Chains A and B, each alone.
Chain A
Amino acid sequence: MTTVRHPVATASDDVAGRRLAEEGAPRTPSAGRSPVRRRRENWRIRGELAILLGPALVVFVSFVILPVVLAAYYGFYKWSGFGTPVDFVGLRNYVTILTDPAFHEALGHNAFIVIGSLVLQGPLALGLSLLLNRKMRAQSLIRVLIFVPYVISEVVVGLGWGLMLQSGGALNGLLEKIGLGALRADWISDPALAIWTLLIIITWKYIGFAVILFLAGLQGIPEELSEAAAIDGASYWQIQRHIVLPLMGPTIRIWAFLSIIGSLQLFDLVWIIWGQYVASTAGTSTMATYMVANGRNAGSYGYGSAVAVVMFLISLAVALIYQRFVLRRDTAGALTGGTK
């Protein structure tokens, strides 16, 4: 790090500049100038901020924030979507949602998938990334191949798996061929099995993403640490447990956050494979499929908006709790493998 200092830089610059905390943006070199110049400087800063931040903010607020506010507004009405809402019903939609057993079921399914994804994908991806984090031929090829399911659209995944898992489909056919015909099952419509099927498909699709993320995190851990510990007599597993895992902490926590949010929003896969009706009987409905089935497809746009708001509040609560208790240690942001 260069030690040449600009004459007007203040002493606190170095320290302040290294942390991306709420207050710690690098101080601009204008500190210490005359009041008039500082005012002009402030306006310039504001102008620059407007140019830099403006477009993104405008687009974001108009197309993300505004719809959510509108959703909250429509949620207070009973509305069939034509014209403007006129039938004010207050909190009745929300009461209906919170007392509807079908919604409770959907919520339960979401929770199952959140936890199931974390439990299934986390250790698996960690193990895989540890195994793959070594120089070998075809490392690049393997990384590409693992990531393939993530790149394919959920529509394709849903269609393909849906065909494979039918009663007369490829999976059952294969089981029969290799003599495990007794394991034939109705993978899609059996309520006892369907949600596990969904979990497996989700794992298949998103494990590549987790592995790639973890691989990137592992590569940020200096080899010297492991080597030094090995020299000191630590076994392979001790090294992983005491050095690698803790240093992977931030990466794992970020991945978990993205996984939880994704699981709460699950829609495409379920809709394509199960459709809106079977999803509830097979036990794979999610809050999102509930929303579309009871909102848009039933012509109840007010109700659908209310469901959307409830979904948002649940996601927000989960995110806030997660940020407060888990991400607190990390700096605000993603994918930081360590501090500088």
Chain B
Amino acid sequence: MTATATLVTPRGGKAPRRAPVGTNRGSSVIVGFVALLLIGMMLAPVVYIILGGFRSNAEITVDPSGFPTRWNWENYADVLTSGVFWGQVGNSAIAAVATTVFVVALGLMAAYALSRYRFRGRGAVYALFTAGLMFPMTVAITPLYILVRNLGLMNSLAGVIVPQIAFALPLTIIILSPFLAAIPNELQEASSIDGLGRLGFFWRMVLPLAVPAVVTVGILAFVNSWNSYMLPLFILNNEATYTLPLGTQAFASQYSVDTARVLAFTSLSMIPALLFFSVFERRIVGGLTGAVKG
């Protein structure tokens, strides 16, 4: 932190003690108010969906923005006891876990190679992965679907998992590369003195150090896979293989008469993602902070 050393030169005598910037009482109130408003706006639609599941259709038609007068648990109970819902949760879970594990593994290895080896064409390979950000699923979906079909992977979760891995790699590598590059060379030299080759260094020292960034990348991959809609829309035709977003949309179309029930299904399909996020929240922010700090 040599940058700061030059600024904070010790002064002779006592510097006037100032309160930390911006924490006077007035601004605290403003901050509190803004925070409250913000949370309200963020959560209002979510609350609407959750509460809607407890109301009856007649209520919703007559008073769209009101609270439930009677808490109907049937809608939620119906969804929770239906095999369809849990089947879709299972499909989504399988797809998300598989995607995340492979994205992290492949991405780490590739980022390590790109950031700590020097070889001809390294810049080109890195640029290739970066260019991959320009190929969103939406652009590649038509030929991708034909490719998956030719491989015989239609209607299977593998047909969804493998493309998701491929499309998650660019962002992963872009986030991991500077992180890995910033690991001091002295560490690598020291470990080579101890007889560890580059691969050993990777396995024993880099992996543990990379955990914050890996967590970030893993969570992004998991959330993206869990929420992905377009790829399953094209690949999964058989209802038994539906993932949760697909199933939610199908349910909404099928039971659109029954608005309350649709809202119940929708809010239940939010829960897994929310749970997952709240468990890992500290890690996410920590991981991002760590990645930023380098």
Interface residue ranges, A against B (CB under 8 Å):
1-2, 4, 6, 9, 13-14, 17, 20, 22-23, 25-29, 45-46, 48-49, 51-53, 55-57, 59-60, 62-68, 70-71, 74, 81, 128, 131-132, 134, 136, 138, 140, 142-157, 159-161, 163-164, 168-174, 177, 204, 208, 212-213, 215-217, 219-220, 222, 224-228, 230-231, 236, 239, 251, 261, 265, 267-268, 272, 288, 291-292, 295-296, 301, 304-305, 308-309, 311-312, 315-316, 319, 331-338, 340
Interface flag for B258 (CB, 8 Å) = no
Q: Which 10 A-B pairs have the closest CB atoms?
A: A153-B227, A333-B178, A63-B166, A25-B118, A173-B64, A70-B143, A56-B110, A17-B185, A173-B65, A52-B113
Taking A25-B115, A161-B45 as contacts, is the C-beta distance between A212 and B284 under 8 angstroms? yes
- Confirm or deny: B193 has a beta carbon within 8 angstroms of a beta carbon on chain A: yes
B107 part of interface (Cβ distance < 8 Å): yes
Chain B contacts for A208, CB-based, 8 A? 42
The answer to whether A295 touches B20 (Cβ under 8 A) is no
The answer to whether A204 touches B45 (Cβ under 8 A) is: yes
B35–A132 CB distance below 8 A: yes
> Chain B interface residue count: which class?
35 or more
Of the A-B pairs whose beta carbons lie under 8 Å apart in the complex, a sample of 8, sorted by A's number, is A49-B119, A136-B28, A148-B277, A151-B274, A155-B246, A222-B4, A292-B138, A308-B140
Given contacts A48-B199, A149-B42, contact A227 B21 (CB under 8 A): yes
Question: Which residues 183-201 of B sit at the A interface, judged by CB distance below 8 A?
Answer: 184-186, 188-190, 192-193, 197-199
Once the chains are docked, how many angstroms separate the CA of A171 from the CA of B133?
37
Knowing A56-B109, A231-B15, say if A25 contacts B122 (CB, 8 Å): yes
Q: Tell me whether B61 is interfacial, beta carbon within 8 Å.
A: yes
Instruction: Name the residue of chain B whose CB is nearest to the CB of A339.
Output: B294
Q: Which residues of B contact A225 (CB under 8 A)?
A: 4, 7
Identify the closest chain B residue to A309 (Cβ). Answer: B139
> Would you call B259 and A308 a contact (CB within 8 A)?
no
A6 with B189: in contact, given A20-B177, A146-B39 (CB under 8 Å)? yes
- Note all chain A residues with C-beta closer than 8 A to B178: 20, 331-336
> What mask results when residues 37 to 72 of chain B are scored 1 for a CB within 8 Å of chain A, else 0?
011011101101100100000000101111000000
Bound-state CA distance A25–B114 (Å) is 9
In angstroms, how far is the closest chain B Cβ from the Cβ of A241?
A: 13
User: Which residues of chain B are near A145, meaning CB under 8 Å?
Assistant: 39, 42-43
B132 touches A60 (CB 8 A): yes
Q: In whole angstroms, how far apart are the Cα atoms of A208 and B43 in the complex?
A: 12
The complex places the Cα of A98 from the Cα of B118 at a distance, in Å, of 43
Known contacts A63-B162, A131-B31, A227-B20, A20 near B115 by CB under 8 Å = yes
- Report yes or no: B193 in contact with A6, Cβ–Cβ below 8 A: yes
A64-B132 contact, Cβ under 8 Å, with A236-B22, A334-B174: yes
A49-B119, A144-B281, A164-B45 in contact; A56/B134 too (CB < 8 A)?
Answer: no
Give the CA-CA distance A268 to B228 in the complex, in Å: 9
Interface residues of chain A: helix, strand, loop or mixed (majority): helix
Roughly how many angstroms separate A227 CA and B15 CA in the complex, as a whole number? Answer: 12
Q: Could you say which of A14, A46, A159 contacts B248, with CB atoms under 8 Å apart?
A: A159
For the complex formed, measure the closest distance between the CB of A29 and the CB atoms of chain B, giving whole angstroms. Answer: 6
Complex: how many Å from CA A210 to CA B193? 43
Given contacts A131-B34, A151-B273, A215-B285, whether A169 and B139 have CB atoms under 8 Å apart is: no
Other contacts beyond A153-B244, A333-B177, A336-B292: 9, CB < 8 A: A6-B193, A51-B109, A52-B112, A138-B35, A142-B35, A216-B292, A265-B138, A291-B138, A340-B182
A13-B185 in contact (CB<8A): yes
A152:B274 contact, CB within 8 angstroms: yes
* Distance to closest chain B CB from A216 (angstroms): 4
Q: Is the CB of B42 within 8 A of A204?
A: yes
Q: A131-B34, A152-B46 are in contact. Are A55 and B22 (CB under 8 A)?
A: no
List the B side residues contacting A150 at CB < 8 Å: 223
In the complex, A174 Cα to B12 Cα: how many Å? 62
Distance from A194 Cβ to chain B, minimum over Cβ atoms (Å): 18
In the complex the two chains form, is A67's CB within 8 Å of B34's CB?
Answer: no
Residues of B within 8 A of A169 (CB): 64
Could you say which of B140, B162, B182 has the most chain A C-beta atoms within 10 Å of its C-beta?
B140
CB distance from A285 to the nearest CB of B (A): 13
